[in-house]
Structures are given as structure tokens and as C-alpha cells.
Amino acid sequence: MRLGPEQIVPRPPHDRRRSFRSLPARAFLAMLAVLPGCSTVNSVSNVVLGPSGPPLGQPGHVRGFLGGVVADEPRAALAGRDVLSAGGSAADAAVAVALALAVTYPSRAGLGGGGACLAYAPDTGGPAKGMPQAAIFNPLAPAASGANADRPAAIPMLARGLFLLHAHYGVLPFEALAGPAERMAASGVPVSRALAKDLALVAGPLLADPGARSVFSRDGVPLTEGQTLRQPDLAGTLGQIRGAGVGDLYQGAMAHRIALESAQIGGPLTFDDLRGALPKLMTPLIQAYHNNKIAFLPPPADGGLAAQAAFGTLSNSTGAIAAANARALAVVARYRAGGVTPDQVLAAANLTAAPAVLFPASTGFVTLDRDGNAVACVLTLNNLFGTGRILPGLGFLAAASPAAVPAPLLAAGLVWNDRKDAFLAAVAGSGQSAAPLAVALALTDTLQTGRPVSSRIPDPGRANIVACAKYLPGDTASCAWTNDPRESGLAIGSN
């Protein structure tokens, strides 16, 4: 039997400055019970231990500097900040944000979709030794083509991808990180401005699906900003993941339900498709920049390759925005044509102009914790609202199959200094064809100014940014975060 990532045993603690966190939460609290009754302060992590403060896993456990979260939807960002406040790592916060986005921003993120993340942790003495890694979990095409379906569906990848990220970088129990999203789906959340805009764009075909109509409309009229979005079936699925584990979605009872119901939403998705769909932990594309290094998402998240190409052009001429965008799209078009490696296509000169392609939408976010661990993720359904069809009884939209639509340009970048063993900046981009340029411009301007900057990014590109000008671990006062001011997301943290 093939092993899915839900069966991976988390590696030893990845931050030597907080090795106590390798203990399970229950064992950790038991250890606290035998300590003297006074409060103990960890001066490096700003953690208050003992009876004077909330325990590990509850908001308020961390005092002082928390780090920061930037996301395109405010409630998802707040869910991530609560995890940081509870003592979670940047990866824990990323899991909470991604699952919350599946509830609050289901036009661009969901259990039926997937994405890619860059993750960085300072040197732990483990195999990575302070080297960023990329978790790639883009939605996959099933073995059968679904040629008879008018909207072929992809294999759901989000939950497995997040579990892989958490297995390598997480601290708090995975099931606890699903709780906030489950509660939001059950009790309902106000429709955000971002979701309302997407609903208005595709209301006609979306509401043709009975499941989508029951969730995203009132009496057939699309929900508008501020109205309550309730998703009880999705809450049940998140509760099942929390109780039975991610594996149930891929090789358990929920996997059999998906296989059974998939014919109604663009299948078939078979049990073997689900069981064999595995995310990948990969080495990012790396570029030296002065005394630092930059990691970009690697193919198959080839928007990272395009971002690296655009960054190279801007490094030679910071004002060459149009040339950088043209270079990015030409590089990714040549790479997708086949027969070249990323290094070869980056070195190629005089590439022909890329044909116009309508790339799918995505959403990006960044998390940073107090110890300098950072994650930058981009999520997608390969189309606004994916196939526009909800899996009956499970409550989530199926992503569009990559066999039927162009693959999205998933673009993110992360800057660190391996000699200082410290984080500097991270960017997650979106905006369809302009996502790579958004990442490249945000990195260029942030590195030059020492603060997160997105002001030069042209439409439709968007960027969410976190930066610590004097590195982290280091000067926490130098850390700042920003969301794109043209959107209605949220950048939140503490200094």
C-alpha cells in the first residue's frame, strides 16, 4: 500500500531555540504541571509559561512579538494570527489560514483545489540546515480524462499538501488547526468584499449547480457583501478531517464518497486517483542576491520560474517593468513547450513573445512567526470557483482539471541569509498572468527600501509581503507586513 503524507512522522524539532516544542502538547502541559508555581519567561521567544498565562495552543500564550500574517481575506488572516498567539509556528498559521480561506474565499481556495508553498526555518542541524523547501500540491488531473464532462474536475490536493507542510514545519496538532475553519463554516461568516466581487463575475454559471446555488445565493440571487455565508456540509467535512485525519479524504470513507459522487461534478475521480495523489517536497529555485539568497517556487509551480526571470530583468534595470513581464511570460511559455531545464530557459536569450493565455485565478498569503520561520503560499482552484460544482454532501467545490484549463502561474519568493541563518522577506503573488511580475517587483522594491513595498505593481498583479529589514531572528522592530492596498485583505501582527 502506498503511504500518503498523512502517514509521515514529523521530523525532530526544526528550531533549536525552542526544542521543547517537539513534545506533544499534552506531554508539554504535563511537564509544566511539575514545575514550580511561578511564571517562567523565555526571553528569546517572548513566551509566557506557567499558570499566569494561557497554555500552549490557546491564543494569548505568546506575549510580545508574534510575527505577522498577510492574506487576501481578513478572517483568514485573523485565524492565522490567533495560531501565532497560541504558540504555533509559521507553518501552523499557514495551515489555519489556508483552511480558513477554503471557507471564507471559496472562489479561489478550497479543499477541492491545491497550491504551493515556500517554507523556511532557521538552521536546526537537520537535513535542510536552514534551506527553504517547497511543498507542491497543485490540483492534478485524474487518470480518466473526463472527456464526457463539460467541466472536468481535478483531484483535491489542498489537505494533503497542508499536511505535508505541517509534518515538516508544524508544532501544534494538525487537527487543532482545522477547528477555526470548521466553526466558521458551521456558524457562517459575512461575505467579504473579495468574495462578493468574484460571485458577481460568475453568478450565472455558478448558480446553475444546485449545490452551489444553495450555498452562494438566497432564493437564486447571489450573496452580496455582508450577507451570511453558511456551509454546513463543508463544516462536516472539516470536522471529519479533524477527527479522522487527512487520510480519510484520500484513502478512507470520504475518499469512497468522493469517488461515488464525482460523476455529478465532472468526474470520474476514482479511489485510486485519490490514494495515489501525493504532494511533493522539493528544492526551490535559488538565486544569489548580494549577501542574501532568494528562493522561488519550482516547477510544476512554474510561476516561480517566471518570477525569477522577471526579477533578473529588474535587477539589471529596476524600471524595466514591461520588459520584465514579457521576459517572465516568454520563459514560462518556453518551459511549458518542453525539452529544457529551468536553468537552460533562464539563460536563453531572444525568446519569442509568449502567446496570450488566460491563466486561472489564485490567492496568496504569507506567515511569519517570532523565531523567523516563514511560509509563503499560493492557492488555486484552477478557475474561479473551480468547476462551479459542489461535491454533494461534502460541501466543497471541485477544482477544474488541468487537462481542461491552463495551469495557473503560482508565484512566490522568499529571501534569507544563510550565513546569518535568518529570514529577510517573503512575497506571495496573484493576478493571473501578472502574478510572477508582482512577486519580482515586490521583492525588488522591498530589498531596495528595506520595507514591504507593492506600489509599482501594475494591474492585475497583486502581492502580499512580509519583511524584516534587519533579519529575524534579530531585530523584531524591523519587521513589517503589508497587503496590496487595491484589495480588501488584511496584514496583521505585532512588533
pTM above 0.85, yes or no: yes
Residue 12 makes CB contacts below 8 A (sequence gap 6+) with 22, 124, 126
Q: Look at residues 53, 33, 77, 106 and name the one whose alpha carbon lies nearest to residue 385.
A: 106
- The pLDDT score that the predictor gives to residue 139 is 96
- The pLDDT score that the predictor gives to residue 214 is 96
**Sequence-ordered alpha helix ranges (H) in 245-302:** 248-251, 253-261, 271-276
Report whether 45 contacts 60 (CB < 8 A).
no
Task: Tell me the mean pLDDT per 10 residues along the chain, length 495.
Answer: 31 34 34 27 37 80 94 98 97 98 98 98 67 97 76 96 97 96 98 96 94 96 97 98 96 96 90 97 97 97 98 97 97 97 95 91 97 97 97 96 95 96 97 97 96 95 97 95 94 89
Strands 133-137 and 228-229: unpaired
- The pLDDT score that the predictor gives to residue 58 is 87
C-alpha cell at 277: 495523489
- The pLDDT score that the predictor gives to residue 26 is 34
- The pLDDT score that the predictor gives to residue 10 is 33
